[in-house]
Amino acid sequence: MARDQGDRDGWDARYGTAELIWTAEPNVFVAREAADLPPGRALDLATGEGRNAVWLAGRGWRVTAVDFSVEGLRKARRLAAEHGADIDWILADVRDHRPRPRGYDLVLVAYLHLRAEDLRDVLYRAAEAVAPGGTLLVVGHDLTNLNEGVGGPRDPSVLYTATGVAAALNGLEVVRADRVTRVVVRGEIEHTAFDTLVRAVRPG
């Protein structure tokens, strides 16, 4: 989920609603990129309301999901229970969390927007957590979305570029680094959002 301020209380307040803020369906790029991966151990960093974690668990992945919002994880647990998904939930700030090196066949970072130095550290540890033969998938609001698209943070310093994300993934082979489009429906009108999508693998 978009974390442009790193404000735990703010996100607890935002998640403190009865209904989901986002859909229960997985992010479209997560679903496309992970659909053909053989299930193994997955790590979902900044899981938010848990939609991607629940989708992965439903496809046979053993999922660990991390978020710093108590309210976000409350809703994520509810969503998991509704889908019969068994997930290891961890209440922690991803800026402090230290995942097990080489411990996961898939590491997901979706719409985590932090200051550049914080994001760089998170991506470094995320890359370190990818097991041999495993995949790291990063998706977030692209810098060009600020002026060309809709939604997302309005602070350009926390937005992504494909080259910037790819440069932080030491030790991995980048197999895709693109600006991609996503349809956003507001009312009855379709709009276009621009995202960064980076997929990398650890040889093995």
3 located within any domain:
no
* Residue 121 tokens, joined: 């550290």
Instruction: For the chain, 204 residues long, give each residue's pLDDT as a single digit of tens.
Output: 444 445 876 665 666 576 666 666 899 999 999 999 999 999 999 999 999 999 999 999 999 999 999 999 999 999 999 999 999 999 999 999 999 999 999 999 999 999 999 999 999 999 999 999 999 999 999 999 999 999 999 999 999 999 999 999 999 999 999 999 999 988 889 999 999 999 999 998
> 197: domain range?
8-201
Q: Is residue 2 part of a domain?
A: no
What is the domain count for the chain?
1
CATH number of 183's domain:
3.40.50.150
Are 145 and 194 within 8 A, CB to CB? yes
- What is this structure's pTM? 0.92
* Pairing mode of beta strands 104-110, 130-141: parallel
